[in-house]
Structure 1
């Protein structure tokens, strides 16, 4: 009987970027001082990982490089882990959008597939590239514990894949700044059994 392997993916959202809360998407703002502090506090001095994989956007990559250098860990930048592109909403706040159309965010939250921002990356296409990145993570880091530093949308999509959440419902998942979501994948030959683990901090 094949030996079961456990792959642990700790998905960490970046901290607060310069400019605060907005539909940032692929706009490449760096971390604010508060954002750096949030991520440092979330990780502390723990280092249970064998590798770090990061989105190349500054709000993820800068901290990933610092953490990898501090602990001597291999670091991969994966372009597929960039945030969902929000099209015409890029760089705009919720208040700015609702000032123009009070119902625009209500429609989006009810059905982000049917009411996507103008010019936004389609959610189905976004799901496709995130699933490609997910499969690569499981292939390259089988049996290891890996820290993945990415964005709320990326984390939502990976959790949705594990739990079978339909695309229109993914924005019901709230991902806090510098929050960490742990996914555990048991592999028994070609059979994979992914699970979402709830926890407080890195153990």
Structure 2
């Protein structure tokens, strides 16, 4: 095994058109505010070798703009799509709470056993995201990578990196619009080690 250090910056999309809601697989573009949030999350100190993005508009449009500006490769991966919230999609948290409050509370308490009506099972969601995450660790080993994705995707990746039980992966991490997380992956003859370096809205760190 070749020794390597790979640094991943995870960037959640900014506010989409329509504002906060259970959006999931609903493919809305960024609002003007969302574009400003995303551009404001990037600094002149950032250095990446490639950008990896969800195909959804709220991620992919900004990722393409950034990759073109930095003149670095852009990779799109379907496995980075957000979880589907089924019947809750397109509705605000207050609206879902008013009509489906008990199920919503159960979902946040334990999403593994409480799938939203018509939605994607968290175990299936986790499986595809973690499969993607491990694939790109190998494919882009030794590089600095930006992943533009979703709140749920970030939760799955951080849970994998920190060995957080899936039952607590949603409620245990807050992911506001345009927040950033940094995970460092070290591989050597001793194995593979993942470390969460930073999380939140922060000024870019040097690898």
Distance 1:47 1:174 in 2: 23
Shift of 1:176: 1.3
Per the alignment, residue 202 of structure 1 pairs with 204
Shift of 1:5: 1.3
Question: Against the structure 1 CA distance between its residues 98 and 108, is the aligned structure 2 distance closer, same or farther, given a 3 Å change threshold?
Answer: same
Shift of 1:101: 3.4
Shift of 1:130: 0.6
Q: Which consecutive unaligned segments of at least 5 residues does structure 1 have? A: none
Shift of 1:95: 1.3
Q: Does 1:62 align with 2:54?
A: no
Shift of 1:132: 1.1
Q: CA RMSD in A?
A: 1.4
Per the alignment, residue 183 of structure 1 pairs with 183
TM-score by length of 1: 0.95
Per the alignment, residue 96 of structure 2 pairs with 97
Q: Which consecutive unaligned segments of at least 5 residues does structure 2 have? A: none
Distance 1:190 1:120 in 2: 40
Q: Which runs of 4+ in 1 moved over 3 A?
A: none
Q: Superposition pairs for residues 1-203 of structure 1, below 5 Å?
A: 4-171=3-170, 172-189=172-189, 191-198=191-198, 200-203=202-205
Distance 2:183 2:152 in 1: 16
Asked if the contact 1:6/1:184 (under 8 Å) is kept, the reply is yes
The count of corresponding residues between Structure 1 and Structure 2 is 202
Shift of 1:190: 7.2
Shift of 1:103: 2.8
Distance 1:174 1:151 in 2: 12
TM-score by length of 2: 0.93
